[in-house]
A = this chain, B = another copy of it.
Amino acid sequence: MKITLEKIAALVKGRLEGDGAAVIEGVNNIDAAGAKEITFADEKHFEEASKCGAAAVILPEGEGKVGKPSIYVADVREAFAVLLKTFTPPLSFEKGVSPEAHIGKDVSIGKDVIIMPFAVVDDHAVIGDGVTLYPHTYIGQYAEVGDGSLIYSNVTVREHCRVGKRVIIHSSTVIGSDGFGFTTKDDVHTKVPQVGCVVVEDDVEIGAQVGIDRATTGATVIGHGTKIDNLVHIGHNCRIGANCLIVAQVGISGSTIVGDNVTFGGQTGTVGHIHIGGHSVYAARSGIIGDMPEGVFCSGFPVQPHHDWLRMQAALKKLPDMMKKMKALEKKLAAYEEGKK
């Protein structure tokens, strides 16, 4: 897409300084914008604006000149948002069920859905109103997807699992794979049937390549409003509270109960069969090995109050020097003893 600066100024209702005939082909952040792009600068980035590689800059009305074509506006961020929308062609999908999709027997499909080519909705599944299924999604037998949910390509929702309303699931995520449950006798592991399901409540968002295992019996539950990043593992029979934030590569072992509004930093791990109280924050790479109370800020492995972890890390850095001092002290004391004799 190519637009002249003059037209851009009109779009954002701004005042143009410079060549209105200059052609802009895109919009970008100030540190990445190239010679055919427009960027924006608020007060804090004013100096960068004159040095940056952009062809033109959007500035707050009242600012000075930056040595390149500029458009002065009342609200810089609003103008930027308008341009982002202008330069990003909108997506458009055909409403309805693609004739190339596979719809099983006894399936219920709501109004205004978009079911794309090669999506599979298996027998007895229920698809709510306004649901979007991208290509190569698999919705298993007796599974349900609630109104307004958006499921990207290559996602699997296994049999009997229930996805709520307005849920977003990113590509290659798997809802309802079997839990990791075996009994072991004479070194041989025998599978424990995993006949439960997964319940994903309303307004949850789940990143790419997330694995949420179905319960052995009953349900693995993801509470409403919880947001999960990429490559997260959630074991069977976990119950995650509402409005949690689970950052990338976290692993939550089976049968763990998590309260509401808990944040797990990236690469955090937990053992299974524990209770983790709500309204807490666990820093990246925490290792949680037992029950935890409400309202804590913890880090480390094994996890401890964040303040203690910082103290321990500070002490650790001094450890090699301390070892030396220790030897010196021992020597001194030995010398005293020698002197006494």
Residues of A within 8 A of B (CB): 27-29, 32, 80, 84-85, 88-89, 91-92, 100, 102, 116-118, 120, 123-124, 134-136, 138, 141-142, 152-154, 156, 158-160, 168, 170-174, 177-178, 180, 182, 187-189, 191, 195, 205, 207-209, 211, 213, 217-219, 221, 225, 227, 229-231, 233, 235, 237, 239, 243, 245, 247-249, 251, 253, 260-261, 266-267, 269, 271, 284-285, 287, 301-302, 304, 311-320, 322-323, 325-326, 329-330, 332-333, 336
Contacts and interface: CB of A to CB of B under 8 A. Distances in A.
Contacts of A209: 172, 174, 209, 211, 231
Contacts of A138: 134-136, 153-154, 171
A116 B123 contact: no
Contacts of A173: 172
Contacts of A134: 138
Nearest to A249: B251
A235 B248 contact: yes
Nearest to A318: B323
B302 A313 contact: yes
B171 A174 contact: yes
A260 B267 CA distance: 25
Given A84-B195, A231-B233, A326-B326, 15 more contacts: A85-B195, A136-B136, A138-B154, A156-B171, A188-B225, A189-B227, A209-B209, A211-B231, A249-B251, A251-B267, A267-B267, A271-B284, A284-B287, A316-B316, A336-B336
Nearest to A117: B102
19 contacts: A29-B218, A80-B217, A88-B195, A92-B123, A118-B120, A120-B153, A152-B158, A168-B191, A170-B174, A172-B173, A177-B208, A180-B248, A189-B225, A231-B251, A269-B285, A271-B284, A314-B320, A319-B319, A336-B336
Contacts of A156: 152-154, 171-172, 208
Contact of A320 (B85, B178, B271, B315): B315
A28 B260 CA distance: 22
Which of A102, A141, A237, A320 has most chain B Cβ within 10 Å? A320
A282 B283 CA distance: 21
A127 to B, nearest CB: 16
A107 to B, nearest CB: 13
Contacts of A325: 326, 330
User: Top 10 closest A-B pairs, CB basis?
Assistant: A211-B230, A138-B153, A156-B171, A174-B208, A177-B208, A102-B117, A208-B211, A170-B177, A171-B174, A233-B248
